Structure 1
Amino acid sequence: MVTTRFAAAAKLYRQGRLSQYLLLLACLAGVTGLLASRALIALSPLVGVAAALTNPDLRRQWARYKKLRTVWFPALLYGFWWVSAVYTSDWTVWRHEVYRQLPLLGVPLAFGLSVPLSARQRQWVAGGFLGGTALVALGTIARYAQQHTFTNDTFGLGPSLPSITGIFHIHFSLMLALAALVGGVFLYTRKSAPDFQRLLAAGAVLICVGALHILAYRTGLLVFYAILCIDTLVVLLFRRRWVLGLGLLLLLLLGPPAAYHTLPAVRNRVAATLFDIEQFTLHHDINNYSLSKRLAAWHTALALVRQQPWVGVAPADVRSAMMAQYAQHSFGLLPANRVMIHNQYLHQLVGGGVLGLSLWLLVLFGPLLQPGRWQNAYVYHFLLLHAVAILADSLLELQISFNLFVFCYGFLLVAAERRWLTDSLAESYMLESS
């Protein structure tokens, strides 16, 4: 029995199916982990690395892997943490972050070296994320309906309802926006897909967009309408798809007013947001106002940038530097209310200066400098979503949003560049043969 199982495993290994199945398992575990189980998030990259190591064509794939720019960009960002050891002072945080950010290396390694997923398997993963997010959204809407009076009242104080699986509202709102965009791109690009798939995708998109509005998630709505605005401009000005473009423009113009006049949560959130910002501009007590505290954090961070503009205070020292700067100018905030930066661009600038920010921009926008490699609407929407979202929060500093970014980066960008490189090499070989 043992010999038979070993022979079967050896056959799967030689065929490359073991590596492919492990990568599929890692992807499904990653999606499940993002939506429901933090433990699976930690295990997913390990399974992905195992998938890479079990590729029977590992030696040749390694030579190609080194040509992938999308694996070098995050590697350089990770390497900066090691360089910062020269001038960091908070060694406890430094050691923790060097370990926590290992997926910047491991996830691109998995997608760059494993036997690639088939088109159908990739659809399973994307469909699992879209459908799973929609189901969690439905459950969260149901919880909101049970306590909507209390929830609407709390919107005046700032907090939002987390998902039923315990995902913090900012991260969940990004998942909703990303799922809606993924489903929208699928409906636009896969018009030949079976009707039941398109119907399910359309239903999931409606649920995710509806949840963003019903639950009044500010960050998710900011991202969704910013990307919708960009899509509208692209469709009208460059694609010249007038019917689709006008439809998107109509949604862009009517969606926010309709939500404001029909959903109490949206009205309360808008009123609370304006009142919140007013407290900061009028120099009132801002201890109980989230946006005002963020504005104070941005001012505090900019003061640190002026002191250390080129290499920053060291990535591991950002919190201690912020608290020290608050001690000099507190904006009237009690120690418990002195929040961190809540802007990834500014966070990178404080921790790593111009050098650290440049490396982050290389990760985020570097792929867009190679347009020939990215004939892929999913890639563009993913990058634009995060480019907008990190204006409102330091997403790389929180584990679930960090893993969301790294997983999608590997699944979309690394895999796409690898397919492009494989096709280019095959085309070159055919030309040489002829």
Structure 2
Amino acid sequence: MASTLASTFTLARLHYAATAFCALIIAGLFVANYIRILPSIGIVGLSVTALTYSVVHKRVANRKHWPVFGAFIVIYLIHVLSGLNVKPPNLPDYWRDVVLQLPLLLLPLAFWLLPALPARQLQNLWLLFIGCVVAAALVSTGYYLLHLEEVNEMYLHSKIMPTEPDHIRFSLMVTLAVGAAVVLLSWGNNPSGQHRLLLATAVLLALFQHMLAVRSGLVTFYAVGGVLFVWLVLRTKQYRQAIYLAGILLVLPMVSYQLFPTFRNKFTNTKEDLGKVDDTKAANTYSLVARVYSYKAAWEIIKQHPLVGVSKADMKDEMAQQFRKNYPGIDKESYLLPHNQFIYDLVAFGFLGTLLFTICFFYPALWAAPRFTPLLVAQYTLVTLSFLVEYTLETQIGLTFSLFFLLLTINALLKPEQPEQEWRPA
């Protein structure tokens, strides 16, 4: 019976199934507003595939690397244990969070149980992701061209052209897609036609990032570019390429300012936003001002509950109380949760929970540090920067995007079952 199952559920077949479910996760990131369950189907399917391998073949493929995958699972346990600190009326919100954060349990477990995916399948998944970003960018560009004046005006009022998924998460995906295209161009085994297509994709997505003009996307774009510049100078001594890159990063914003009204208007809106920080009532209309006051309200809670926080489920009530008490000029509709993952966690889990989260989230980066991992560095860079302006891991798309691509690059660092000649995209 065991031999029959093993001959049916061969590693090759399970790898194809895992790749198909990974593809569903990637596609689901872009259609979650229409098929909300699609990313979840991919995550559950990948988990079942990995569990099938482990049961049928009676082994855990990456047993010795349990700390790398277990670190993410510990973050899930932080959310679970926060239930000890929840007020009874908010227990339904607590259970919703436990379900929302399930990828922190299921995805690391799946990648731990299943042997490393073949290089070709990994590369195809990255190509699928780049293709999905391009398709979504084309849809948004089409909308912009059909509503030029309306969209340009929106950018003066802290609004952005429609995107799928939401503009903040999508701008991060654009940065990663540009980085992935550059990495595949530099080290991937690409036919000549695909090579030219990847080059055109990287250029056009870089321009689109500036037309989209989302602050988080632009910051991560230049941060990843800066990391690449440092690597070219310090690690590979490729000074000429570093000079070319520096020139592009300097010229691109100047060209974009002249070329894209959205970029100009976002620049104007940001300057106006920053000038209103001292006006409490401006939080009702200016997004940056509202974020500043959310940090101030959060700090009051942190001072009162420094060690274990107030729990994520109780945070909304506690923040509203601080707004009413200290900032009565801000309308209830403008109350924000702190748009910073670390401050968010300090309020929810206190200094103890946030310290444990930080150690666990960044441990895989330390594990991978001795090796050359451009895609892992890019993903960690942009996700970490997004933490400074968003609670990235508290939405379905933000959590799935951040975690899945970290694990996909970690998977590429693992030794495959069969020797490979191809470069593994990490």
Give the TM-score, by structure 2 length.
Answer: 0.91
Amino acid at match of 1:82: V
For residue 133 of structure 1, report the CA deviation from its aligned partner.
Answer: 0.7
Which SS does the other structure have where 1:110 is aligned? helix
Q: Which amino acid aligns with 2:44?
A: L
Residues 154 and 8 from structure 1, CA distance in 2 versus in 1: closer, same or farther, beyond 3 angstroms? farther
Look up the match of 1:428: none
Residue 391 of structure 2 aligns with which residue?
394
3-state SS, counterpart of residue 382 of structure 1: helix
Shift of residue 311, structure 1, vs aligned partner:
1.5
- In structure 1, the gaps of 5 or more residues are 1-6, 424-434
Cross-structure match for 2:126: 126
Q: Is the 8 A contact 1:23 1:110 kept in 2?
A: no
> Is contact 2:63–2:113 with CA below 8 Å preserved after alignment?
yes
The aligned residue for residue 44 of structure 2 is: 46
Secondary structure, counterpart of 2:275 in structure 1: helix
- The CA distance in 1 between the partners of 2:311 and 2:54, in whole Å, is 41
C-alpha distance in 1 between matches for 2:280 and 2:82: 37
Contact 1:16 1:56 in 2 (8 A): no
Q: 1:19, 1:115 within 8 Å by CA — same for their partners in 2?
A: no
- The residue aligned with 1:268 is 265
Query: Deviation at 1:338?
Result: 0.7
Cross-structure match for 1:335: 332
CA shift for structure 1 position 403: 1.1
SS of the counterpart of 1:419?
coil
3-state SS in 2 of match to 1:379: helix
Cα RMSD, aligned residues only: 2.3
1:244 corresponds to 2:238 = no
Range 397-406 or range 325-334, more displaced: 325-334
Matches within 5 A, 1:281-292: 281-283=278-280, 285-292=282-289
Q: Could you say if the C-alpha distance between residues 282 and 379 of structure 1 is closer, same or farther in structure 2, counting changes exceeding 3 Å?
A: same
2-side partners of 1:320 and 1:182: how far apart? 41
Contact 2:273 2:289 in 1 (8 A): yes
Cα distance change on mapping 1:152 and 1:386 into 2, 3 Å: same
Aligned to 2:191: 194
In structure 2, the partner of 1:141 is 141
- TM-score normalized by structure 1? 0.89
Task: Determine the structure 2 residue equivalent to 1:80.
Answer: 78
Pick from 408, 411, 420 the counterpart of residue 411 of structure 1. Answer: 408
Task: Report the alpha carbon displacement of residue 87 of structure 1 after superposing the two structures with TM.
Answer: 1.8
Secondary structure in 1 matching 2:162? coil
SS of the residue 1:310 aligns to = coil
Q: Which digits, 9 at most, give the CA deviation of each residue in 1:362-410, with x for residues without a partner? A: 2432123224564321111111110111211111111111111121122
> Which residue is 2:156 aligned to?
156
Identity %: 26
Give the Å deviation of 1:319: 1.6
User: Which residue matches 2:305?
Assistant: 308
* Aligned-pair CA distance for 1:298: 0.9
The verdict on how the C-alpha distance between 1:93 and 1:33 changes in structure 2, with shifts beyond 3 A counting, is same
CA distance in 2, matches of 1:75, 1:178: 24
How big is each residue's C-alpha offset from its partner over 1:321-377, in whole Å with a ceiling of 9 and x where there is no partner?
111211211262100111111111111111111122223222432123224564321
Paired with 1:331 and 1:161, the residues of 2 have a C-alpha distance of: 32
Q: Give distance in 2, aligned partners of 1:285 and 1:262.
A: 30
Match of 1:17 in 2: 12
Alpha-carbon distance in structure 1 between the residues aligned to 2:259 and 2:181: 25
Distance, in Å, in 1 between the alignment partners of 2:228 and 2:132 is: 25
- Mapped partners of 1:359, 1:44: distance in 2: 28
Q: Which runs of 5+ in 2 are unaligned?
A: 420-426
RCO higher in 1 or 2 (8 Å CA, sep ≥ 6)?
2
Distance 1:172 1:259, change over 3 A: same
Q: 1:93 offset after TM fit, Å?
A: 1.3
Report the Cα distance in structure 1 between the residues aligned to 2:184 and 2:107, rounded to whole angstroms: 24
State yes or no: 1:182 paired with 2:180: yes
